[in-house]
């Protein structure tokens, strides 16, 4: 099938239209390309296809810096110029506001600022995860594939900070070596590395059971010189596994990073932004949008390990923080204590059930990809706050929630800033500032 590629989807593929009008999701293509594509799946409304030949290259097409980008799932947009990636991400946010949030085109275009870059478009990640699979008697450790199940063996990952990119090869080799004499039952492997604190952590995710703790710590220590090696124990169904404990195999047992002027310590199961310079920019935009004062009462929902709680506590009289994930709650309490902050109250639990019984002046919400429950939007709309900063990692759920805020008639969005924490991918973070209506 010959296709004229039109735009990127909010996903790894580009979008074209078949001669009969059906949408075609094309992998390996860049908007503006004319391609030959092989259809891999067909439904009544759409097709999926793989680019087999670029007949006429797009003006936005570039040669990917990563030799594995066509087979590895880590950088699906690597063949598009970075300026075009930024433009496409902004347009995806505008499109979501129009299609899902029911904003008019002019209003959506006015709300969404140009997407902001966060330093380098390669070598920006402080964390990657390696996939693990058994092939006969061998254990294969590598990057997650774009398609299929077998991990992609690589020498280095160009998305990882250059000070740590060689860790991929060292850690993969060390794990394969230990696996040759032990049944490891590894599920995945996390590597975190900080240029600012020089911390390196290797986290091994496994089921409970026997494990060569000392041998693993020794081999990984020789291969990667980590400051921390931990084993994260989890069990349950594959799509709903729960962490049951963390064993420290060597070192500090956690990883630290510095965001602006604050140092935070994070345990392996806890979420932390993978782009440190991007996290700096998020905090800056949130503080700029809220303009907190020293006598303000602040609220931080879905607070995680304290990325926003700690800087808010420096500037406000008090912060009510709510986080549902147990390891993150423990990290938040430790970070408040470590930074000598006593004007914050971390509460563990669901944001709806544990919604603070207080009247906030400024509010931050940074929910997971699912966004805010409708009941949380209602409770936020009853707050006397002058401003809310909504940090979102999914344009679709952001658009849905902004429609709900508008329907409540109390707060309205005044600006949406896409922040590119994930170059070479379709993902984008957004900082939305909502202000109380006059």
DSSP class of residue 112? Answer: B
DSSP class per residue in 248-276: EEEETSSEEEEETTEEEEE-TTS---SBH
- Strand pairing report for 344-348 and 127-135: unpaired
Please state, as a whole number, how many other Cβ atoms lie within 10 Å of the Cβ of residue 124: 24
Please state, as a whole number, how many other Cβ atoms lie within 10 Å of the Cβ of residue 181: 9
Contacts of 309 by beta carbon, 8 Å cutoff, 6+ apart: 300, 303, 319, 321, 332, 335, 336, 344, 346
Token pair, residue 79, equals 């063949």
Paired with 232 in beta bridges are 205, 246
What is the Cα–Cα distance from 163 to 167, expressed in whole angstroms?
9
What is the Cα–Cα distance from 160 to 171, expressed in whole angstroms?
14
What is the Cα–Cα distance from 347 to 332, expressed in whole angstroms?
10
What is the Cα–Cα distance from 418 to 385, expressed in whole angstroms?
24
Angle at 321 between CA 255 and CA 189, to 5 degrees: 30
Structural contact between residues 94 and 167, judged by C-beta atoms closer than 8 angstroms: no
366 assigned ligand-binding residue:
yes
What is the Cα–Cα distance from 263 to 314, expressed in whole angstroms?
13
323 assigned ligand-binding residue:
yes
- CA-based torsion, 163, 169, 173, 176: positive or negative: positive
316 is catalytic: no
Determine which helix (DSSP H) or strand (DSSP E) holds 87, and give its type and residue range: helix 82-99
Q: Given 51, 72, 75, 393, which residue is catalytic?
A: 393
What does R_g of the chain's alpha carbons equal in angstroms? 23
Which residues define the annotated binding site? Answer: 273, 302, 323, 366
Which residues define the annotated binding site for S-adenosyl-L-methionine? Answer: 273, 302, 323, 366
Which residues are catalytic, by number? 393
């Amino acid at each position: 099938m010959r296709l004229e590629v039109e735009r990127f989807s909010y996903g790894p593929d580009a979008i074209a239209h078949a001669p009969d009008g059906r949408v075609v999701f094309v992998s390996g293509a860049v908007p503006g390309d004319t391609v030959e594509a092989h259809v891999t799946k067909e439904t009544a409304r759409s097709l999926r296809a793989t680019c087999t030949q670029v007949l006429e290259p797009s003006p936005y097409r570039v040669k990917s810096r990563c030799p594995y980008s066509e087979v590895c799932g880590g950088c699906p947009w690597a063949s598009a110029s970075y300026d075009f990636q930024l433009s496409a991400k902004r347009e995806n946010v505008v499109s979501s506001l129009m299609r899902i949030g029911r904003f008019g085109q002019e209003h959506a275009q006015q709300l969404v600022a140009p997407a902001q870059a966060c330093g380098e478009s390669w070598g920006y990640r402080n964390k990657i995860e390696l996939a693990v699979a058994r092939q006969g008697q061998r254990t294969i450790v590598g990057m997650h594939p774009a398609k299929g199940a077998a991990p992609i063996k690589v020498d280095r990952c160009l998305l990882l900070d250059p000070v740590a990119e060689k860790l991929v090869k060292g850690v993969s080799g060390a794990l394969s070596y230990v696996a040759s004499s032990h049944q490891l039952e590894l599920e995945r492997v996390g590597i975190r590395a900080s240029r600012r604190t020089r911390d390196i952590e290797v986290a091994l995710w496994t089921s409970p059971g026997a494990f060569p703790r000392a041998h693993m710590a020794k081999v990984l220590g020789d291969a990667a010189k980590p400051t921390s090696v931990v084993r994260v124990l989890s069990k349950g169904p594959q799509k709903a596994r729960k962490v049951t404990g963390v064993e420290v195999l060597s070192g500090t047992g956690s990883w630290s990073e510095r965001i602006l002027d604050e140092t935070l310590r994070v345990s392996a199961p806890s979420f932390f932004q993978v782009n440190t310079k991007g996290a700096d920019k998020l905090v800056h935009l949130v503080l700029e949008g809220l303009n907190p004062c020293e006598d303000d009462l602040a609220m931080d929902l879905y607070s995680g390990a304290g990325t926003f709680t700690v800087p808010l506590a420096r500037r406000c009289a008090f912060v009510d923080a709510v986080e549902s994930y147990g390891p993150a709650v423990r990290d938040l309490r430790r970070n408040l204590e470590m930074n000598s902050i006593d004007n914050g109250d971390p509460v563990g639990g669901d944001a709806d059930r544990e919604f603070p019984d207080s009247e906030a002046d400024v509010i931050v919400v940074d929910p997971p990809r699912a966004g805010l429950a409708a009941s949380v939007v209602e409770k936020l709309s009853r707050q006397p706050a002058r401003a809310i900063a909504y940090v979102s990692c999914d344009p679709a759920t952001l658009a849905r929630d902004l429609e709900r805020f508008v329907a409540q008639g109390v707060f309205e969005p005044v600006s949406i800033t896409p922040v590119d924490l994930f170059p070479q991918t379709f993902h984008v973070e957004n900082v939305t500032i909502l202000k109380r209506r006059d």
